[in-house]
Amino acid sequence: MTPADLSRTVLHAVRCAVEADELPAAAPTRVTVRVPPRPGCGDYATNVALRVAQDTGRPAREVAEVLRKRLAAEPGVARVEIAGPGFLNITLEGTSYTELVRGLLAAAPAAPPLSLPDPEPALLARLGSDAARWSLLWPAGFDRDELLVQRDSNPLFRVRYAHARTRGLLRNARDLGFGAEPAPTGTGAGTGTDAATPLLAALADHSRITAARDPERLARHLDRVAGAFLTWQTSCAVLPRGDEKPSAVHRARLALAEATGNVLADGLHQLGITAPAHL
């Protein structure tokens, strides 16, 4: 279940509750779900109960309980918890994330290139093709010369480095004699855990971002994917250490890394920017 799917599921639950006279309010036209800012708060959170409560005059936690029961019964939802004044924290079934990774491995995204203006000749000569194209996508005021520096403050470097890192992990795994194989939650593989949730959420967003055909939005999305990946892979050992033998955990984590590389490569391709295997 992608964030867009979950948003539709939440909206459906609200509308059903209104139609059943469980909530005497007009259903909102749209709802949003977000990755919680803190670990341990589910995969996604929504403030829809607080919004609906404003129309009903009922306590937000009472509205949240009505929606919690309906959402908990939806396919793909493992559990729903009420937090704070009435937020709903939603945890998805682990198989949803496994299917996401499997899908990204089975058919790597292949969206057509986006139409971007050609960089000015002076900018092209100063920055080179990749950095010049990226510079057209970033907010005004950003130091374009920063795009030539290999450090974390450079978003282009961060995205391209994350892609190169995924390919490096695959090469090293081949040398160790094992490959990527997604595994369900519960193996310690990182899929569905707190450490992997921001990355998985970003990967699930890729098809929706791609469909928007917005180059600037895509660039920000790739930066989000890269940042989430680099944070995740420092907290989860993808490759065996020392005399450790490759396990199902390593294969599943490698699958998540490969899926991330596929998404980054696709996004860079759409922007007309190279996705290096070495950096």
The domain made up of 95-270 has a fold known as Isoleucyl-tRNA Synthetase; Domain 1 (1.10.730)
pLDDT string in tens for the chain (279-residue length): 677 788 899 999 999 999 998 988 777 888 888 877 665 677 788 999 998 998 888 899 999 999 999 999 998 888 899 999 999 999 877 656 777 888 888 876 677 889 888 889 999 999 999 999 999 998 777 888 899 989 988 999 999 999 999 999 999 999 999 999 986 544 444 454 556 878 888 888 888 788 889 999 999 999 999 999 999 998 888 999 988 999 888 998 999 999 999 999 999 999 999 999 998
- The length of the chain, given as a count of residues: 279
Measured CA to CA in angstroms, residue 271 lies from 36, 104, 158 at distances of 29, 19, 15
Tell if the pTM clears 0.85, that is, is over it.
Answer: no
For residues 157 and 135, give the distance between their C-alpha atoms in angstroms, rounded to a whole number. Answer: 12
Burial (CB count within 10 angstroms: exposed 0-12, middle 13-18, buried 19+), residue 184: middle
Cβ-based neighbours of 84, under 8 Å, separated by 6 or more: none
The domain made up of 3-92 has a fold known as Gyrase A; domain 2 (3.30.1360)
**Domain limits of the chain?**
3-92, 95-270
Report the half-sphere exposure of 185 (CA within 13 A, side-chain side).
19
